[in-house]
Amino acid sequence: MAFQARKATKIIPHFGNRMMNFLGSIEMGFASSYYATQLHKTPFSVQKIGNGVVGFEDMPTHLSARRFKSIKVEKRLDSVNDDRDNQVLEFPGGKVRFTPHMSFIPDRDKERIPCFRVLDDNGQASIFSNFTQVSKEVAVKMYNDMVTLQTMDTILYEAQRQGRISFYLTSIGEEAINIASAAALSLDDLIVPQYREAGVLIWRGFTLKEFASQCFGNKDDHCKGRQMPVHYGSKRYNYFTVASTIASQIPHAVGAAYSMKMEKKDACAVTYFGDGGTSEGDFHAALNFAAVLEAPVIFICRNNGWAISTPISDQFRSDGVIVKGRAYGVRSIRVDGNDALAVYNAVRAAREMAIQEQRPILIEALTYRVGHHTTSDDSTRYRPAEEIEWWRVAKDPVSRFRKWIESNGWWSNEAESELRSSLRKQLLEEIQLAERREKPPVAEAFTDVYDVPPSNLKEQESWLRKTIKTHPQDYPSNFPL
């Protein structure tokens, strides 16, 4: 396969008091797979992308583009001198310098990797942050969708507690990651979600009727009632159907991204997962897979501190998730997940790099799951109620973003009251309609797998119909045979 060399963008390293091995515009720390010493030697020319400054360098896009220079076969086992007269080993992957001093790489740096933020807790933008501004139209839609997600979660959670649906989980406290990341992407980008990304669908146009229909598993449900509630999927909106199995979607996203690369699409794959997902082997296999094949995929980790009842302190000793990207040669950034503008800027920059440079990007968004893990969980059993309340009030991403749009003159108390009242009315109406809507016929449970159903599947369908007729009290009255 032939590959062509081209110009690839790369964020100029900034120095001063910042760590030398980070790439990024002011205070945006994309951790690079290049060493700072190499960057000093790299000739750059400067250009602007949005409000950020970037540099260009000639860089081939084939699979060895960001690897060390290949060694010569005849020197493979020889020790040679480099330009500084130091003994080096010509080893697969590049030269390795010898040293007479024994030293172990420390388990972690003295200081933790900083977190990129634009808005403070009062919704004021930092005067030192060089971020890309969003228009009034985009900002207001972002806020509307964050409130929509928050309201929908509250009402459907209550519906589950009333026994009207079997299961639910919320994104309360994580609305900024949902909506702001979606705003920074294109509809052509494939979303491979975990199960807490309903906001991405809201941004793309999924209606309240579609959300309610899926949760109630009625005839209008795109999944035909075969999925648990909140396990959404939409071919129309390029949103891969949710699976409950933790981290299984991450390698799928890499495979999809590599397919996009082969087809030369101007798009990338984006996958979401929690901190608990990074403790699964699928995460590590996927990062290595993406780095080696240079797949245009964005990994977005919602590090909310808890994998159900397991805190991150019991999951790993590393400096969060961001350092795992560096270990696999994936450019990475840590961002304040409760700051919608920071998330928007980070994802926007990540998408540009993923597509233009054909590389994976890892984003660790620091946030907090204010709600219970699911309706099957009581998080007050393993974390203090005071801690939850502090995050809900002091760190609420929706309130923070509202303060910012209000300071710009784009929002008011009247608009807020009208929005919340209208949303609640619409949701209650859609829930009532979805609840009364007829269920999918029994036959739909056995379709969409085989062109011609095999005999064992036909037999199972027959058994199910017989069971429903024998025990009608165990099934909804509007359950059509």
Tokens of 476: 């909804």
Between the alpha carbon of residue 148 and those of residues 300, 408, 419, the distances in Å are 22, 21, 9
Tokens of 32: 């690079």
**What are the residues whose beta carbons fall under 8 Å from the beta carbon of 468, sequence distance 6 or more?**
442, 475, 479, 481
**pLDDT at residue 71, as a whole number:** 47
- pLDDT over threshold 70, residue 27: no
Of the pLDDT bands very low, low, confident and very high (cuts 50, 70, 90), residue 480 is confident
Give the Cα separation of 246 and 129 in Å (integer). 35
Does residue 23 sit in helix, strand or coil? Answer: strand
The tens digit of pLDDT for each residue in 244-282 reads 999 999 999 999 999 999 999 999 999 999 999 999 999
Determine which helix (DSSP H) or strand (DSSP E) holds 241, and give its type and residue range. none
- pLDDT over threshold 90, residue 80: no
pTM comes to 0.84
**pLDDT at residue 30, as a whole number:** 64
Find, among 249, 367, 380, the residue nearest to 312 by Cα: 367
40 alpha-carbon distance from chain centroid: 32
Tokens of 118: 């634009």
Q: Right CATH number for 136-436 from 3.40.50.970, 3.40.50.800, 3.30.930.10, 3.40.1350.10?
A: 3.40.50.970
**pLDDT at residue 78, as a whole number:** 52
Assess contact for 31 and 23: CB atoms under 8 A: yes
Give the Cα separation of 365 and 268 in Å (integer). 19
CB atoms within 10 A of CB 172: 22
- pLDDT over threshold 80, residue 473: yes
Tokens of 374: 């699911």
Domain ranges of the chain: 136-436, 442-474
**pLDDT at residue 87, as a whole number:** 85
**pLDDT at residue 69, as a whole number:** 52
- pLDDT over threshold 90, residue 37: no
The tens digit of pLDDT for each residue in 42-64 reads 333 333 444 444 443 344 444 44
**Catalytic positions, please?**
369, 373, 382
Strands 331-336 and 361-366: parallel
